[in-house]
Amino acid sequence: MTEWGTVALYAGLLVGLGIVILLASRLLGPRRIAREKMEPYECGVPILSPVRQRFPVHFYLVAIVFILFDIETVFLIPWAVIFRSLGVAGLVEMGAFLLVVAFGLVYVWRRGVLDWE
Task: Tell me the pLDDT of the chain (117 aa) as tens digits.
Answer: 788 899 999 999 999 999 999 999 999 887 787 777 777 666 766 666 666 767 778 888 888 888 888 888 888 888 888 888 988 999 999 999 999 989 988 998 898 888 877
pLDDT at 25: 92
pLDDT at 73: 84
pLDDT at 60: 83
What's the CA gap between 105 and 70, in Å, rounded? Answer: 12
CATH topology of domain 3-111: Methane Monooxygenase Hydroxylase; Chain G, domain 1 (1.20.58)
Q: Which amino acid is at 76?
A: L
pLDDT at 22: 96
Cα R_g (the chain), whole angstroms = 26
3-state SS of 41-93 is CCCCCCCCCCCCCCCCHHHHHHHHHHHHHHHHHHCHHHHHHHHHHHHHHHHHH
